[in-house]
Structure 1
Amino acid sequence: MNSFVRRASFIAGTTSLALVFGAGAASAHVSVYAPGAEQGGYSVLAFRVPTESDTAATSSVKVELPGLNSARTQPIPGWTSTVDKNAEGLATAVTWTATPGAEVLPGQFQQFLLSAGPLPEQESVSFPATQTYNDGEVVEWNEEPAADGSEPEHPAPLLTLTAASAEAHGHGAATVTAEAEAPSVAESDNTARWMAGVALVLGALGAALGIGAAVRGRRS
C-alpha cells in the first residue's frame, strides 16, 4: 500500500512538473522547479536545461547541491548520472552526462529529476549549474540576482521554499495511520462476508431438509 501511494504521488508530482515546464518553455535559462517544496522537507526537484547554442548540443549538466542527506536521480534514456558526496556522506553535486546521440539538440530542452532532501530550512536555495556543449563550450549558471533585483546574464537556478507546515505533517501521520488500519478493516469485512456466506449455505441446506421431510410425510 505504501509503495502504491508513493508511486501515485510521484506520478502526480511529475505530471505537475510537466505542466510547469510546458508553461515556461520559452525561458532560455537553466532553472529548477519543485511545486510545494517545503523548508526541511523532501521533494522532487526538476532541473530544466535548454540548449541555447545554434550549432552545438548539450552533452553534460552538473548541479551543485547544498549538502543533502539524500539525492536520487531518475533514469533518463541515453544519459548517465553521478552523485558526488563529501566526507560526511552528504550529496554535494550531481552530474548528468549524455551518451553519443542522446545530447540535447539546438532548439530543444531536457528535464532532469532529482528526489532530494531534507532541503535547507531557509526561504530559498540556490543550485549553481554547469552546462557543457559537445563543441567544448562551458556555461556557468552561478550568478546571483543584482542588488536592484535585476536578473544577471547567467543566473543560478533558484528555488523558493515554503515554510514547513505542521498541518501537513499531521495529515501525513493521519494517512499512515489510516493505511496501517486498512488491513484490519478489510479483514473484518472478509470475515463478515464469509460468515454471511456460511449462513446462506446453512439456510439453504435447512430449507432443503425441510422440504424433503415434508415430501416424505405426504408419501407416507
Structure 2
Amino acid sequence: MIKKISLMAFFVFTMVLMTNIANAHVTLNPDKSEPGAYEKHDVRVPVEKDTNTTKVELVVPDGLQLVAVAPVDGFKHKFTKDSKGNITKVTWTATGEGIGPNEFIDFPIQVANSEEEGQYKWKAYQTYEDGETVKWTGGKDAEKPAPVTTVSANTAQEQGESKDEEQQNTTPLWIVAIIAIILSLIAIFKKTKK
C-alpha cells in the first residue's frame, strides 16, 4: 500500500514538473488579440541553462506595429527602426547580471494590431552569458517555437473558453496532487508509529 501511494505521489510530482518544463520557452502573453486593437503583451523569457541570460532580441512581424516598451529593472532597451521610423526590432541588454538560472522576466510591450486576421510570428533570440544564442524562431511544434500572436475577431470569446478549459484541466491535477501528498504523509506517519 505504501509503495502504491509513494508511486502515485511520484507520478503526480513528475506530471506537474513536466508541465512546467514543457512551458519553459519564450512566450507572448496574451497570445490572442482583436484586429486593430492596441494590446499590452508580456514577453516572458525563462532561463533553461545554468548560466544567466544577458540579452533578448525580439523581431516585430510584418503586419504588427511595436508602439512602446515598458522599462525593465536590470535591462536597457534599444530599438532598430526602418526608413519610415517603424520599430522592427527591440533589444534588451542586461545592465547587471541578467536573468539567473530557474528565473524568468516579463518584458512588457505595447502593440498595434493589423486589421487583418491571422497568425503573426515574432522571432526571439536569447543570448546567455557563455555566448550561446538560442533562436526561438521555429513553428508551433518545433523544439524552439517562436512566440505567435493570433489576431482574430473571435478573441474575446476564445479567451473566455480557453480560461474555462484551463481551469477544468488544471483543477483535477492539483486536487490529485494534494490528495497524493496527504496520503503519503498518512502512510509515513503510520509506518513510523509501528
**TM-score category of the 2 structures, normalised to the smaller one:** 0.5 to 0.7
- Please tell me whether the aligned partners of residues 143 and 155 of structure 1 are also in contact (alpha carbons under 8 angstroms): yes
Between the two structures, name the one with larger relative contact order (CA 8 Å, sep ≥ 6): 2
- Deviation per CA, 1:3-36: give whole Å up to 9, x if none: xxxxxxxxxxxxxxxxxxxx97861111111266
The residue aligned with 2:147 is 157
Query: Scaled by the length of structure 1, what TM-score is found?
Result: 0.56
The answer to whether the aligner puts 1:99 opposite 2:95 as a matched pair is: yes
The residue aligned with 1:148 is none
The residue aligned with 1:174 is none
- Deviation per CA, 1:44-79: give whole Å up to 9, x if none: 11111000002x111110011025544211011111
Distance, in Å, in 1 between the alignment partners of 2:144 and 2:25 is 7
- Please tell me whether the aligned partners of residues 135 and 144 of structure 2 are also in contact (alpha carbons under 8 angstroms): yes
The residue aligned with 2:76 is 80
Question: Could you tell me which of 115, 136, 143 is aligned with 1:141?
Answer: 136
Q: Secondary structure at the match of 2:134?
A: strand
Change (3 A) 1:164 1:41: farther
- Please tell me whether the aligned partners of residues 47 and 53 of structure 2 are also in contact (alpha carbons under 8 angstroms): yes
The within-5 A match list for 1:33-44 is 33-34=29-30, 37-44=33-40
Question: Could you tell me which of 62, 70, 73 is aligned with 2:57?
Answer: 62
Q: How many residues align?
A: 136
Over the matched positions of the two proteins, sequence identity in percent amounts to 34
The residue aligned with 2:118 is 123
Change (3 A) 1:133 1:120: farther
- Structure 2: gaps of 5 or more residues: 1-18, 156-194
Q: CA RMSD in A?
A: 2.3
The answer to whether the aligner puts 1:48 opposite 2:44 as a matched pair is: yes
- Structure 1: gaps of 5 or more residues: 1-22, 146-150, 166-220
Q: Which structure has the bigger radius of gyration?
A: 1
